[in-house]
Structure 1
Amino acid sequence: MATPKFILELREKIGHDLLWLTGITAVVLDDTERILLVRRADDGRWSLPAGILEPGEQPAIAVVREIHEETAVEAAVDRLVSIEALPPSSYPNGDQVQYLDLCFRCHPLRGEPRVNDDESLEVAWFPLTDHPRLSPREQTCITNALTNTPTPIYATT
């Protein structure tokens, strides 16, 4: 997906300066505890479905939208897993960004996974014990999603 219009408009005003955005990440687990992953078109690595909130959008609605946009799977949110401020980062064009990420545990309702947009090269279910290597942060999201803790995890110090 191309850069959203609201970000392009903000970038016209602030240039490459740090932009604070709300990110959303989905840990989608089916009944057999397989995990839904996407292989990203931008860097070729496997990852959890993720995206950003559009202005005025509710987080749980946004994560369901992102799952469907990237994988063609319709899903429902089970719970908020964690809230985490990620470190600042830069894109190749020099844009600086920092995300407040909301990670949700979700389950599929219907639909077979397939590439559903230009952000993904592949989409597939993987056993929790045998999936492609993910970033340490994504692996932590999965670990946290597998707990039965109803309270979201967040930093306290």
Structure 2
Amino acid sequence: MADYIKEIRALVGHKPILLNAAGGAVFNDQGQILIQQRTDNRTWSLPGGFMEYGETFRETVVREYKEDSGLEVKIDHLIGIFDQGFTVYPNGDECQVISALFAVTPIGGKRITEEQFETVGTDYFDEDNLPPLLNQQTADMIHAAFADWRQHHDQQAKAHD
């Protein structure tokens, strides 16, 4: 059921609703995370987005990551579930977003570097040098992704010793 959120919004207007979303975390060789600048309010967030009716979190992150970043990804593992994402969008829509965050690996595609439908561009950032983020949930997810990356990076380094 495409455009599920538009159909719900046509019924409830701008009233607060619960929405499910999925995002992904990709790191480069320098340990920086890939994030996208959004076209709606010019803030930054992890590539990902809202589930369509009938989708799984895993299907959502693969579809949305491609749309938002240009990259095709495979899922490595679940980093966590985040349920305190309160957002008011520029059009007045309010929602609480329950997001599943996955560690993902690029397997194809080309990173978006020029403005497209939902993305101004994408870039890699260090944890201590992040641009203005969409909301606190985005910040929490990014910090969790860095912690997860450090844990897995340290385990791989020990395995090679």
Q: CA distance change for structure 1 residues 63 and 6 in 2, over 3 Å: closer, same or farther? A: same
Q: Shift of residue 60 of structure 1?
A: 1.0
**What aligned pairs does 1:3-152 form with structure 2 within 5 A after superposition?**
5-114=3-112, 115=114, 117-124=116-123, 126=124, 128=126, 132-133=130-131, 135=133, 136-146=139-149, 147-148=151-152
**1:129 to 1:11, Cα distance in 2 relative to 1, 3 A:** closer
Q: Which amino acid aligns with 2:111?
A: P
Cα distance change of structure 1 residues 9 and 132 upon mapping to structure 2, 3 Å threshold: same
Structure with more helix by fraction: 2
Deviation at 1:31, TM superposition (A): 4.9
Q: Report if aligned partners of 1:73, 1:112 keep a CA contact under 8 Å in 2.
A: yes
Shift of 1:67: 1.1
User: How many pairs were matched up?
Assistant: 144
Q: CA RMSD in A?
A: 2.4
Higher deviation after alignment, 36-45 or 4-13: 4-13
TM-score, L = length of structure 2: 0.76
What are the ranges of 5 or more consecutive residues in structure 1 without an aligned counterpart?
149-157
Residue 12 of structure 1, CA deviation: 2.3
Q: 1:108 to 1:134 in 2, by over 3 A?
A: farther
**4+ long deviations beyond 3 Å:** 30-34, 127-132
